[in-house]
Amino acid sequence: MITPPCVPMSCRGTCHHDCSAGVAMTTYEFLVEPFVQFAFMRRALVACLALALGCGPVGVLLMLRRMSLMGDALSHAILPGVAVAFLLAGFSLPAMTLGGFLAGLTVAVLAGTLSRLTLLKEDASFASFQLISLAAGVSILSTRGGNVDLLHVLFGSVLAVDDRALLLAASIASLSLVVLAILYRPLIIDSFDPGYLRGLNGRSGLWQILFLALVAMDLVASFHSLGAMMAVGMMMLPAIAARFWARDVWHMMGMAVLIALLSGFVGLVASFHYHLPSGPAIILTAGLLHLLSLAFGPLGVVRTRFGRVRQHRRG
Amino acid sequence: MKPIIRLENLTLGYERHPAIHHLSGQFARGSLTAVVGPNGAGKSTLLKGIKGLLRPLAGSIHLEGVTRGDLSFLPQQTELEQDFPISVWDAVLIGHWRRTHTGRAMGDTHRQQAKAALDAVGLGGFIHRIVSTLSGGQRQRMLFARILVEDAPVILLDEPFTAVDDRTVAVLLAMVQAWHSQGRTVIAVLHDLEQVRRHFPATLLLARHALAWGATASVLAPANWQQARAMSEAWDDHAPLCADVLPGNVPP
């Protein structure tokens, strides 16, 4: 039995368990009991599972299509839509979801169109829309909401996820997996040979827009738990970490889901025991797993740079 | 012979800068044509235009009795995302897209065709390899296997033998000859004039417009080639958008 340290002394009895005696906790008490005891922790964990399933595979495709930063840009692009929905309907889950999705989709289509019609490459269009969206979103929110609303929208609150929000996250994750299964083949073809589908029927742009719509949808789901600033974290960090574990797309997607789920679990436990804000704790865990993968994964720095070269068998 | 691809006063280019001017002519059904010319003459641009990857700035491309989907296209390797982690097997199965699209599962027939194609190009033992670990020649053979799987009546090859060793060139050239004898129309952008003379009955000599188009022996006359080099070198960015002053094209 391991005996993890009790809660830090700094909590001064404000935490969820009795630490006054400084009694060492069992592994079970440290890792499992928070979820057994508190419904909000269970809901947060299930929300993380939904986000991992929805965001992980999509993040892998974004990374492999060299669009990692576009995910970040899109996550900011949903902000004005959410802000307008908030102004019109208050903290309404469906309104904010729809508003965010439409804003994300609009920016994706606009950026794609501008890159086709002008000299700008798509990433430049996304970069400019990202800044405009963030500034517009914060400005719109400030006209009505207070600082608490702003903090909620920017950094989310995974521990405040209620049943309706959970249902929404689960539905989006399910839909996302179905849509991804349909788009998988054309996206893989388009990623490897960008001219192939365009040369057949001129519809390569359609797949790209559908894919970006999928990204926007997953980001909106992530947004409710992690906020606009952190939403993309569950999508990109596990995906990039997964690159160091697998050589082919399928396994990379599986690893991304596992790493995202592990980040959610460890992040929630850490936030519970050490009084960290839950969203940043989850993303920091994902970041840590990313660094560990980069260093020690089968395709990481240690193995590929310093590992022994495989001996050729002779004869 | 009946044409399969007809070009009418075709002008193709990038960002409104034409690379090919007022090209008219036709590729006969079942013909084997080499497209030659100096660097920057518009050879690859022409193939991309026919494939539908570039929209004509003016004029038109008519496909007679075939659709865009019936055109197999071998891109230059630099146009592929070579680091993308796709296996040789999956890269060749892409050739079935015309028949399977997003939804239809790959059946046994599809798999057998892909396996046969890989065996035919000598990559039968490389099925599980990731494309980025292949050599340039192996990658080219893999792309030829994809064309075999596509089984299309028209095949467009953009520099198929560049950076490929002699043995691989021989294998690939034999496949091109086989396609020709099966009645498929093949158009290939090439640099090796000796190879063209020996293996390609028809040639289009390009230097931003057609200098000569017809039987290879007459097209590759030294005078034509000299003219081609001179014209391309005289080209500059400040030339008029559409060079109407260029001499008329020579239809085959």
For residue B9, pLDDT over 90 is answered with yes
A249: Cα separation from own chain's centroid: 18
Q: Which residues, 6 or more positions from A277, have their beta carbon under 8 angstroms from its beta carbon? A: A155, A271
Q: Please answer whether residues A120 and A114 qualify as being in contact, where contact means their C-beta atoms are separated by less than 8 angstroms.
A: yes
Residues on chain A touching B51 (C-beta within 8 angstroms) = 195, 199
- Same domain as B36, residue B141: no
Question: Does a structural domain hold residue B72?
Answer: no
B81 → closest Cβ in A182, A192, A202: A192
- Same domain as B247, residue B131: no
* Gap between the Cα atoms of B43 and B37, Å rounded: 7
Helix (H, G, I), strand (E, B) or coil at B7: strand
Contact B68 A199 (CB under 8 A): yes
Burial label, B194 (beta-carbon count in 10 A; 0-12, 13-18, 19+): exposed
- Same domain as B158, residue B137: no
Q: Give the total number of structural domains in chain B.
A: 2
Contact B75 A195 (CB under 8 A): yes
- Same domain as B13, residue B132: no
pLDDT at A145: 66
The distance of A220 to chain B (nearest Cα, Å) reads 26
pLDDT at B234: 53
Residue range B220-229, pLDDT digits in tens: 999 898 888 8
Residue range B78-107, pLDDT digits in tens: 899 988 999 999 999 999 998 888 878 888
Question: Does a structural domain hold residue B183?
Answer: yes
* Gap between the Cα atoms of A93 and A109, Å rounded: 24
- pLDDT band, very low/low/confident/very high, at B246 (cuts 50, 70, 90): very low
- Same domain as B160, residue B61: yes
Residues on chain B touching A191 (C-beta within 8 angstroms) = 81, 84, 86
pLDDT at B206: 93
pLDDT at B34: 97
Provide the residue range defining the domain that includes B14.
1-66+153-167+174-252
The region of weakest confidence among A80-89, A231-240, B11-20, B51-60 is B11-20
Question: Does a structural domain hold residue B61?
Answer: yes
Residues on chain B touching A252 (C-beta within 8 angstroms) = 85
- Same domain as B204, residue B219: yes
Size of interface A-B (CB pairs under 8 A): 68
- What CATH number does the domain containing B210 carry? 3.40.50.300
pLDDT at A228: 83
Average pLDDT over every residue of B189-198: 95
Identify the structural domains of chain A with CATH numbers, from first to last: 9-14+33-306 (1.10.3470.10)
Q: Please answer whether residues A279 and A227 qualify as being in contact, where contact means their C-beta atoms are separated by less than 8 angstroms.
A: yes
Structure tokens at A313: 């068998």
Task: Output the furthest CA–CA distance in chain B (Å, rounded).
Answer: 57
- Same domain as B207, residue B134: no
Question: Does a structural domain hold residue B71?
Answer: no
Q: Which residue stretches of chain A have pLDDT < 50?
A: 1-13, 315
Question: Does a structural domain hold residue B239?
Answer: yes
Look at residues B101, B119, B152 and tell me which one is the last residue of a structural domain: B152
CB atoms within 10 A of CB A69: 15
* Gap between the Cα atoms of A10 and A23, Å rounded: 15
Average pLDDT over every residue of B146-159: 96
Q: Please answer whether residues B22 and B42 qualify as being in contact, where contact means their C-beta atoms are separated by less than 8 angstroms.
A: no
DSSP per-residue codes, B184-252 = -EEEEE---HHHHHHH-SEEEEESSSEEEEEEHHHHT-HHHHHHHHHHHHT--TTS-SS-TTSPPP---
DSSP B100: H
- Same domain as B237, residue B188: yes
- Same domain as B162, residue B208: yes
Helix (H, G, I), strand (E, B) or coil at B30: coil
Residues on chain A touching B68 (C-beta within 8 angstroms) = 199-202
Which residues face B63 on adjacent strands? B5
Residue range A186-210, pLDDT digits in tens: 999 999 998 898 888 766 678 888 8
Helix (H, G, I), strand (E, B) or coil at B174: helix
Question: Does a structural domain hold residue B73?
Answer: no
DSSP per-residue codes, A49-111 = HHHHHHHHHHHHHHHHTT-HHHHHHHHHHTHHHHHHHHHHHSS-HHHHHHHHHHHHHHHHHHH
- Same domain as B198, residue B85: no
For chain A, the residues whose C-beta falls within 8 A of a C-beta of chain B are 64, 119, 182-183, 185-186, 188-189, 191-202, 247-249, 252
pLDDT at B251: 43
- The complex's ipTM? 0.88
Question: Does a structural domain hold residue B111?
Answer: yes
* Gap between the Cα atoms of B190 and A276, Å rounded: 64
Q: Is the pTM of this model over 0.90?
A: no
* Gap between the Cα atoms of A23 and A3, Å rounded: 10
* Gap between the Cα atoms of B210 and B246, Å rounded: 10
* Gap between the Cα atoms of B97 and B94, Å rounded: 5
User: In which element (H, E) is residue B11 found?
Assistant: strand B3-14
Question: Does a structural domain hold residue B244?
Answer: yes
Q: Alpha-carbon torsion A51, A52, A53, A58, what sign?
A: positive
Helix runs in chain A, H state only = 27, 33-37, 39-64, 68-77, 79-89, 93-117, 122-144, 147-155, 163-192, 196-201, 204-230, 233-242, 249-274, 278-296, 301
- Same domain as B159, residue B139: no
* Gap between the Cα atoms of A126 and A119, Å rounded: 14
Place of tokens 């890159």: A115
pLDDT at A6: 47
Look at residues B95, B120, B152 and tell me which one is the last residue of a structural domain: B152
- Same domain as B163, residue B143: no
Q: Please answer whether residues B147 and B155 qualify as being in contact, where contact means their C-beta atoms are separated by less than 8 angstroms.
A: yes
